[in-house]
Amino acid sequence: MDGDLAALVNALGQEPYFRAQLDRQRERHGVLLVAWHGFDPIGDVYLWLDQAEEPELRERLPGVPLLTHLEVAPAYRNRRIGTRLMDAAEERLRGLGHDRVALGVDPRNDRVWPLYRRLGYEEWPHPPVPTTRRIYLPGGRVEQVPDVCRILVKDLREPRAGEG
């Protein structure tokens, strides 16, 4: 794990974030999936397996895991790395017995909408959810900033167009 942390930080930065997620993974609260190019990490997504922090998600999507922090290094974008990370995350969740998954998207992040729509995610019929974004600062300090996310949900039992 320490070697993975060093490689992640060298390639993608964000040491406090990756340290926290690897700790959560060790405690079985989630799974960090990483895309590699040789020995270099080029992207990641985190499977949040704990109960959601937001009351709206706990109430309306009880027990539904969340995908967080989908990231692809700039030099590797538009090469379907994000798609492959999402496919791997969904497959892992199916293997764990989950039939749905959710994720939150910043309403201003227009760049990711085509990907999520293509992968079969649909916006839930409720208002955006107030949440807290964590900003991981050097030295391990975490700053919490109020944020709002639009929630997208996918039924993992349904094959994507062209599959099954």
Question: What are the chain's domains?
Answer: 2-155 (3.40.630.30)
Asked if the model's pLDDT at residue 40 lies above 50, the reply is yes
Percent helix, strand and coil across the chain, each to the nearest 5: 35, 35, 30
Q: What is the pLDDT of residue 20?
A: 86
Alpha-carbon Rg of the chain, whole angstroms?
Answer: 16
Q: Are 50 and 21 in contact (CB under 8 A)?
A: no
Asked if the model's pLDDT at residue 164 lies above 50, the reply is no
The tokens 């996310």 sit on which residue?
Answer: 149
Asked if the model's pLDDT at residue 50 lies above 70, the reply is yes
Q: How confident is the model at residue 15 (pLDDT cuts 50, 70, 90)?
A: confident
Calculate the CA 3 to chain-centre distance: 22
> Which 3 state secondary structure label does DSSP give 152?
strand
Mean pLDDT of 67-83: 94
What's the DSSP call for residue 46? E
Mean pLDDT of 68-75: 94
Q: What is the pLDDT of residues 86-99, one digit of tens each?
A: 999 999 999 999 99
Q: What is the pLDDT of residues 131-153, one digit of tens each?
A: 988 887 777 778 889 999 999 99
Torsion of CA 16, 47, 105, 82, to 10 degrees: 90
Mean pLDDT, the chain, whole residue set:
90
